[in-house]
């Protein structure tokens, strides 16, 4: 089998043609390479989270009052910084157990919000986000600070697809 690669100029590969001998069933062939670090740019998905610990007041608040239930808002902004359309965006926000079950309004959100109470995770699914576009949502909850120690807002993870942009992609074509 001959494998011809395009786009190797961004890697440390010296040859764009590989001759691969017979590969027995259950075995594999692989070729390690490194991508030139100058090619890797800033992420194409940018997420901003603002936590307001008393959203009922007009100004944003970051402090809590010991022993007092604090209505808390998590404002998430997702921005596509690329020139291509993003698809299948999934934002997973972990809520610590000290937060009450979240409340969100589906009517004014791009995509779909859901909550998995067994894992304390909010899932925001966005089908598509155009180039340079930005969307935002607000999730409300509450907590009661019991100590003076800082409280965390929870981890955020994201997955997405950008099909029309090449960053570190190497295209392969089987020639034989």
Q: How do residues 18-70 score in pLDDT, each as one tens digit? A: 777 777 777 777 878 777 766 666 678 899 999 988 787 777 777 888 999 99
- For the chain, give the mean pLDDT: 83
pLDDT of residue 49: 92
| pLDDT over 50 at 172, yes or no | no
| pLDDT over 70 at 176, yes or no | no
Task: Classify the C-alpha dihedral 116-111-89-39 as positive or negative.
Answer: negative
Q: Which residue has the tokens 């027995």?
A: 24
Percent of the chain with pLDDT over 90: 45
**Closest listed residue to residue 31, CA positions, set 50, 14, 51:** 14
Higher pLDDT, 18 or 158: 158
Higher pLDDT, 145 or 58: 145
State residue 127 phi and psi, 5-degree precision.
Answer: -65, -45
pLDDT of residue 173: 42
pLDDT of residue 17: 81
The pTM (predicted TM-score) of the whole model is 0.69
Please say whether the beta carbons of 79 and 148 come within 8 A: no
Higher pLDDT, 122 or 1: 122
Q: How many CA atoms lie within 13 A of 15 on its CB side?
A: 6
pLDDT of residue 67: 92
**Beta-bridge partner residues of 5:** 172
| pLDDT over 90 at 100, yes or no | yes
108 contact partners, CB below 8 Å, separation of at least 6: none
pLDDT of residue 39: 61
| pLDDT over 70 at 174, yes or no | no
pLDDT of residue 170: 42
Please say whether the beta carbons of 60 and 51 come within 8 A: no
């Amino acid at each position: 089998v001959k494998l011809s690669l395009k786009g190797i100029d961004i890697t440390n590969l010296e040859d764009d043609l590989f001759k691969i001998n017979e590969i027995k069933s259950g075995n594999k062939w692989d070729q390690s390479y490194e991508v030139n670090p100058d090619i890797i740019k800033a992420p194409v998905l940018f997420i901003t989270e603002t936590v307001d610990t008393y959203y009922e007041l007009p100004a944003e608040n970051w402090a809590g009052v010991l022993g007092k239930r604090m209505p808390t808002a998590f404002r998430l902004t997702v921005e596509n910084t690329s020139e291509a359309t993003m698809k299948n965006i999934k934002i997973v926000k972990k809520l610590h157990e000290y937060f009450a079950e979240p409340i969100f309004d589906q009517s004014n959100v791009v995509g779909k919000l859901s909550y998995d109470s067994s894992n304390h995770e909010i899932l925001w699914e966005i089908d598509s986000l155009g180039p340079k576009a930005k969307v935002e949502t607000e999730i409300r909850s509450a907590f009661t600070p019991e100590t003076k120690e800082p409280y965390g807002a929870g981890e955020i993870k994201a997955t997405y697809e950008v099909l029309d942009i090449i960053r570190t992609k190497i295209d392969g074509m089987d020639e034989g």
